[in-house]
Amino acid sequence: MSDSMPANPLTVQLLWDAMRAIDLPALIVTFSGGCDEGAVDDVSAEFGFDYKAEPDSCYARADARFDTCKVTLGDNSLLLADYVKEIAEGLLTDTDDVPDWYNNDGGNGTITFTLDGEAIEMEVNVRIVEFDTTRFQFDSAGKTLSRVPKANPNAKTPAQMLLQLMGLKP
């Protein structure tokens, strides 16, 4: 993860102001990682067009507004996409309880900035590799002698754990 701008109310308010200025209802940030590294992959504008009904020039002009929009903070001027990336990196590193999406098997997710209600939603997916091991013993002719159960015969499957969390009996 790189050094990032913290997502404080001032920096986020500049984002809302910029989105309002170019009539941009939503921004979606995607991120992914694994093997001890993670990064923001993409920042995309969601203008809410019905792409089948709107002429090509309508969303081309909207994309051009997004691609050229700049945000100024002190002496620094950044493209809106770069500014959003900085805020997203701040949210990912500075928010308590964000799951470990960039180590080991990694993960991915999205951060959605919605102008209506000035809402930010983050969804984080963590990859988990699970093994369910069963061992067999065979005689010299290949006939099964025994099947050795899992190390913990009381272990629950992910589906059983989900049912338990939902208050249902497996």
pLDDT tens for each residue of 103-157: 778 889 999 999 999 999 999 988 887 776 777 778 778 777 776 655 565 666 6
Pair 46, 85 in one domain = yes
* Residue 90 contacts residue 7 (beta carbons within 8 Å): yes
**pTM (2 decimals)?**
0.66
Pair 42, 120 in one domain = yes
Q: Is residue 170 part of a domain?
A: no
Q: Which residue blocks in 73-155 are alpha helix, DSSP H? A: 80-94
Pair 157, 83 in one domain = no
Pair 155, 81 in one domain = no
Domain count across the chain: 2
Domain containing 149: what range?
135-165
Distances (CA, A) of 166 to 2, 155, 156, 170: 38, 18, 14, 10
Q: Is residue 80 part of a domain?
A: yes
Pair 42, 96 in one domain = yes
Pairing label, strands 76-79, 107-114: unpaired
